[in-house]
Amino acid sequence: MTGGAGFIGSNFARHILGSHPEDSVVNLDKLTYAGNLENLRDLEKDPRYRFVRGDICDRVVVREAMEGVDAVVHCAAETHVDRSNAGAGEFLTTNVSGTFTLLEAARERKIQRFVAVGTDEVYGSIAKGAARELDPLNPSNPYSASKAAADLLARAYWTTHRLPVVVTRSSNNFGPYQYPEKVIPLFITNALEDTPLPLYGDGKNVRDWLYVLDNCAAIDVVLRKGKDGEIYNIGGGNEVENVVLTRQVLHLLGKPESLITSVKDRPGHDRRYALDSGKVAALGWKPAHSFGAALEATVAWYRDHEAWWKPIKSGAFRAYYEKQYSSR
């Protein structure tokens, strides 16, 4: 797998090693600001787990890491929309060129299954209904445009080269080990620090929330049972307005709503995402966690893991965050 030191990747590595005793995992990760070996401490001693530090754009490293591998689960990416709005270069390099490098190596190594982990953002904002897999793509920001490029390139390697690719497109994930620039961990940790929660625009944008462990289970199902060349939407079925979510977080922590601060909207801010997940459901997957219980568990995890997020928030993240809000 790639990107295993990030949020979804580390949860996925733990899921695979925990639920498939016959499997082993090679984790190729560059350790960007978002990659953190603390996310994987409990796996380090497992003889079925191996970490390789490297860039998915590096052909030699990628080729070596794929030696003896049956399947690739490609999670590595630049992932934060606000950062892509501030500068898209790394997004194109990692998300597009990096995916290309992996696809080429997978062809050469005759990999039996390549899972390209993608996002609902490729469909763009949807006023009504729910996106289906063959709907047109309409990405709004440089992040989602780079992910759409990666997703299409991966499918082209099936159509043209018969590389056995499957693509997942999931909705917004939340849960343990999510970098605290994303809205849920940012708002939980700000609330714990009694600092303002910056809500963009009118706060009425809607996201469909998916607990990360449910996404890991779905990726696992697609990895084993998905059909070559197919795309699978993975939605949580939990559409929530940002302002409602924010109030829920504050309520769970017993913090006042006066911490909510309206800030200037994100440029190109998609109003609503929604997915039809019927196809992955037909493979036998459905979310195992309710939104309310998963949000409560997530709030509790951050409350109990200050030692994980405090160093992140006081380090390089602080400079990013201050720059971000000085312009809003």
Interface mask toward ligand TDX for 130-169; x: CB under 6 A: ----------------------------------------
| Per-residue interface string for the shown chain with ligand TDX, residues 249-268, x marking contact by CB under 6 A | -----------------x--
CB atoms within 10 A of CB 106: 26
In whole angstroms, the minimum distance from the beta carbon of 127 to ligand TDX comes to 15
Q: Is 176 a residue that touches ligand NAD (CB under 6 A)?
A: no
Residues 6+ away with beta carbon under 8 Å from 56: 2, 28, 30, 62, 74, 76, 94, 98, 99, 101, 102
Q: How far is CA 214 from CA 170, 202, 263, 294, in A?
A: 10, 30, 32, 10
Catalytic residue check, 230: no
* Relative orientation angle of helices 291-304 and 306-314, to the nearest 10 degrees: 70
275 touches ligand TDX (CB under 6 A): no
Is 121 annotated in the active site? Answer: yes
For residue 34, state whether it binds ligand TDX (rule: CB under 6 A): no
Question: In this complex, which beta carbon is closest to ligand NAD, that of residue 179 or of residue 187?
Answer: 179
Please calculate the CA angle 135-139-141 and round it to the nearest 5 degrees. 170
Judge whether 90 counts as a catalytic residue.
Answer: no
Nearest to 285, CA basis, from 225, 231, 240: 225
Is the CA virtual torsion 121, 122, 123, 125 positive or negative?
A: positive
Catalytic residue among 78, 121, 181, 239: 121
Residue from 100, 53, 47 nearest 74 by CA: 100
Stretch of residues binding ligand NAD (CB under 6 A), selected from 53-61, 99-107, 155-163, 294-302:
53-61
Maximum Cα–Cα distance across the chain: 57
Query: Per CB under 6 A, which region of 3-11, 100-108, 217-225, 248-256 contacts ligand NAD?
Result: 3-11
> Is 194 within 8 Å of 253 (Cβ atoms)?
no
List the one residue from 9, 139, 175, 236 that touches ligand NAD (CB under 6 A). Answer: 9
Footprint on this chain of ligand NAD (rule: CB under 6 A): 2-3, 5-9, 29-32, 34-35, 55-57, 75-79, 94, 98, 117, 119, 147, 170, 172-173, 179
Footprint on this chain of ligand TDX (rule: CB under 6 A): 79-81, 119, 121, 172, 182-183, 186, 198-200, 205, 207, 242, 266
